[in-house]
């Protein structure tokens, strides 16, 4: 059975996240059910580079699945993009997956963007895509605080209680905070992230942005390894899974 | 009674457009009903710089209304932004309107952006914001064709049958076509536009982008003054009313 890699975009609004859940529709379920049309009516198992939470979006999630239909990737892409309608899930690309390749374990870098709408007026065009913070944020202070978190650390202080990773050690390669018009955007890159790590980092940097806490505080939280000492978990809708790097990237059709 | 200018953003999805209609909810109705809370329960009349169609969005629509409550603009803005909830309509700014100022007649330039998602995969994150054109568009050819339409002309060929303007003469100041990643964006500026003018221009340039028609064709359509000779009316959801210029711009609070 041919194994395929898929490049997937979705709006996470109203979905329970990547993973199948008993309480609602997941991206995984929509894609697996779409793929059943190419697999003799049986939904195959789909695995993904990142198990995004409910309400989190993706521009470049990478998914693997195998189906019995032996289609060129360009036709598989079109078929799955058709069968995922009317959901806001688009199959942007497809490729044959190499033997032993895994979207999860072969990934060497994951990139996320978090968007904060930092203005007095509520979101209208960007509702469901941003965290609305009406008080002015000092993006420069947030960026300075973020630079103190780079490198390999025990990120227990930024890890959800529900996190299933064996180790809290992660290497944060990039955590940039930039102002883009009315928005403050946080760009985070690492080989892998702990559950809620990006959202907990954003919620903690937010306290620095409001000048409730000094620039050094998020690093002190890190060193204390206590989740309860940090800021809130920023809401999911501001987060987008941008892309995944692989040593040998799939050639998308 | 103090008269105010408002800077308004909205997502046009599911709305019948700016103007009140018997068949659904309009931006005008939402704003007028929000303002009734500041006007002894009576909805005042609101006028706008541009009467956007159903499904068309705005980043910087400008609106005028008068209410009996004598509030500083910063407080009026906050109150109207609150009372327009839960609609995807945001009051980004407010200012006192000068005597004789009109959002419609004082405007000297209006700016629109039209977004085409030009990729095989259906829209997911940008659904409701773009026109999906799956076949490749030649943005360079569209831009070249657009430049032949600049200046003062009889735009009858690009005017809706329902257009109520007295004259079909308009001066098109800018019509740029640019590729931005997977999108082709059309940026249009003029003192004022005829009804459906931008969408008819985009639908006609689209034929050039697909290479079904030569670069000179949209100009030949213009010169023929016959709407039936041009391309389709591009769908509303790709269009956003970006901003309005005034000789003396309101100082937004």
pLDDT tens for residues B222-244? 999 999 999 999 999 999 999 99
Distance from CA of A85 to the nearest CA of B (A): 9
Q: Report how far residue A170's alpha carbon sits from residue A150's, in angstroms, rounded to the nearest whole number.
A: 10
R_g over Cα of chain B? 19
| pLDDT, tens only, B184-224 | 999 999 999 999 999 999 999 999 999 999 999 999 999 99
- Assign 3-class secondary structure to A136-160: CCCHHHHHHHHHCCCEEEECHHHCC
Q: Which residue of B has its CA nearest to A11?
A: B125
Average pLDDT over every residue of B77-102: 97
A4 is in an annotated binding site: no
CATH number of A109-243: 3.30.70.660
Q: Do B90 and A10 touch (CB under 8 A)?
A: no
Q: Do A78 and B127 touch (CB under 8 A)?
A: no
Residue A154: predicted pLDDT: 98
Percent of chain A at pLDDT exceeding 90 = 98
Percent of chain B at pLDDT exceeding 90 = 98
Handedness of CA A241, A242, A248, A251 (dihedral sign): positive
Q: What single-letter DSSP state applies at residue A130?
A: S
Q: How confident is the model at residue B118 (pLDDT cuts 50, 70, 90)?
A: very high
| pLDDT, tens only, A109-165 | 999 999 999 999 999 999 999 999 999 999 999 999 999 999 999 999 999 998 999
Residue A3: both structure tokens together: 């194994």
CATH number of A3-105: 3.30.70.580
Q: Report how far residue A189's alpha carbon sits from residue A193's, in angstroms, rounded to the nearest whole number.
A: 9
Contacting A with CB below 8 Å, chain B residues are 9-11, 57, 59, 77-78, 81, 85, 88-93, 119-125, 127
Residue A213: predicted pLDDT: 98
Contact B169, B155 (CB under 8 A): yes
Could you give the C-alpha distances from B119 to A209, B133, B179, in angstroms and in order? 38, 7, 12
Residue B123: predicted pLDDT: 98
DSSP track, B195-229: TTHHHHHHHHHHHHHTTSS-TTHHHHHHHHT-GGG
| pLDDT, tens only, B21-32 | 999 999 999 999
Contacts with A59 from chain B: Cβ below 8 Å: 125
Gap between the terminal Cα atoms of chain B:
19
Q: Do domains A3-105 and A109-243 have the same CATH topology?
A: yes
Tell me the β-bridge partners of B6. B63, B94
Contacts with B12 from chain A: Cβ below 8 Å: none
Q: How buried is A235 (Cβ within 10 angstroms: 0-12 exposed, 13-18 middle, 19+ buried)?
A: middle
Which of A18, A35, A14 minimizes the C-alpha distance to A27? A18
Domain spans of chain A, in order of start:
3-105, 109-243
Handedness of CA A87, A89, A90, A96 (dihedral sign): negative
Q: How far is CA B182 from the centre of its chain?
A: 22
Contacting B with CB below 8 Å, chain A residues are 9-11, 57, 59, 77-78, 81, 85, 88-93, 119-125, 127, 240
Distance from CA of A35 to the nearest CA of B (A): 16
Q: Which residues contact B40 (CB under 8 A, 6 or more apart)?
A: B68
| pLDDT, tens only, A2-61 | 999 999 999 999 999 999 999 999 999 999 999 999 999 999 999 999 999 999 999 999
CB atoms within 10 A of CB A147: 14
Average pLDDT, chain B: 97
* Residues of A labelled as active-site residues: 53
Sequence-ordered alpha helix ranges (H) in B55-188: 73-83, 139-147
| pLDDT, tens only, B130-143 | 999 999 999 999 99
| pLDDT over threshold 90, residue B1 | no
| pLDDT over threshold 90, residue A1 | no
| pLDDT, tens only, A203-237 | 999 999 999 999 999 999 999 999 999 999 999 99
């Amino acid at each position: 059975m041919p194994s395929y890699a898929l490049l997937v975009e979705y709006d996470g609004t109203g979905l329970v996240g990547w993973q199948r859940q008993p309480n609602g529709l997941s991206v995984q379920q929509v894609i697996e059910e779409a793929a059943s049309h190419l697999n003799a009516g049986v939904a195959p198992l789909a695995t993904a580079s990142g198990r995004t939470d409910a309400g989190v979006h993706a521009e470049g999630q990478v998914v693997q699945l195998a189906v019995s239909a032996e289609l060129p990737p360009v036709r598989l892409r079109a078929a799955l993009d058709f069968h995922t309608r009317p959901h806001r899930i688009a199959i942007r690309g497809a490729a044959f997956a190499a033997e032993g390749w895994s979207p999860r374990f072969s990934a060497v870098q994951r990139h996320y963007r978090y968007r904060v709408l930092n203005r007095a007026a509520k979101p209208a065009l960007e509702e469901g895509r941003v965290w609305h913070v009406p008080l002015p944020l000092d993006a420069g202070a947030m960026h300075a605080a973020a630079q103190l978190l780079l490198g390999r650390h025990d990120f227990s202080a930024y890890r959800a209680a529900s996190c299933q990773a064996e180790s809290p050690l992660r290497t944060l390669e990039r955590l940039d905070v930039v102002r883009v018009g009315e928005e403050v955007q946080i760009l985070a890159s690492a080989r892998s992230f702990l559950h809620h790590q990006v959202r907990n980092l954003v919620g903690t940097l937010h306290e620095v942005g409001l000048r409730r806490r000094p620039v050094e505080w998020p690093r002190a939280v890190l060193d204390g390894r206590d989740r309860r000492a940090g800021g809130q978990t920023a809401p999911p809708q501001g987060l987008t899974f941008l892309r995944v790097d692989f040593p040998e990237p799939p050639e998308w059709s």
